[in-house]
A = this chain, B = another copy of it.
Amino acid sequence: MQLLENRIIADGRIIEGDILKVDSFLNHNTDIPFVWKLAEELHRLYSDCDVTKILTIEASGIAIASLTALCFGVPMLFAKKSRSSNITGEVFSSSAHSYTHGCDNNIIVSKRFLGKDDKVLIVDDFLARGSALSALWDITEQSGAETVGAGIIIEKEYQGGGDLLRGKGLRIESLAKIKSMSMENGIEFCG
């Protein structure tokens, strides 16, 4: 998506640790009118899939997932990263490693909100090694719901998570795919 690639070039910053900071428009200060255009594009890509629910993970996926859910006119369910006193009863759970924060997260979703009648679109801001997406997919499969696919804002294609999960049969649409990235040479997108 050219609009998004242009914005990443203009406002993204590469910092140490192979991190692309897009906190000025995506995951801290969120340019909602801009993100709305991204949500509309995810809706266009999956418009014929009878999506009944958008699934994401707290916290930075929630904004794009909420706007995408608004486009589809369906609920947005966000997985939580640990059992808090506000989640009770039976849950689906899976484990995801966060390379950004250097820890494992047990992510959970209440069993009351996902089931075999659902057609789920998983939405997240980033896809790198695929740990979070793999865990969300696992949860959808546990519930008996149909996973129609994933909608990702920025995929770091060179980290391999996307191709790994595509190889296992998951449809993934990424609005920007980064082929390579370095502080010296900047960002190259996939053709």
Contacts and interface: CB of A to CB of B under 8 A. Distances in A.
A32 B85 contact: no
A78 interface: yes
A38 B40 CA distance: 21
A73 B17 CA distance: 34
Contacts of A76: 29-30, 32, 63
Nearest to A13: B88
Which size bracket describes the interface of A in this complex? 35 or more
Interface stretch (A20-28, A138-146, A152-160): A20-28
Contacts of A135: none
A74 B24 contact: no
A67 interface: yes
B113 A36 contact: no
Given A19-B85, A21-B86, A59-B78, A32 B69 contact: yes
A183 interface: no
Contacts of A17: 85
A70 interface: yes
A169 interface: no
A28 B66 contact: no
B69 A66 contact: no
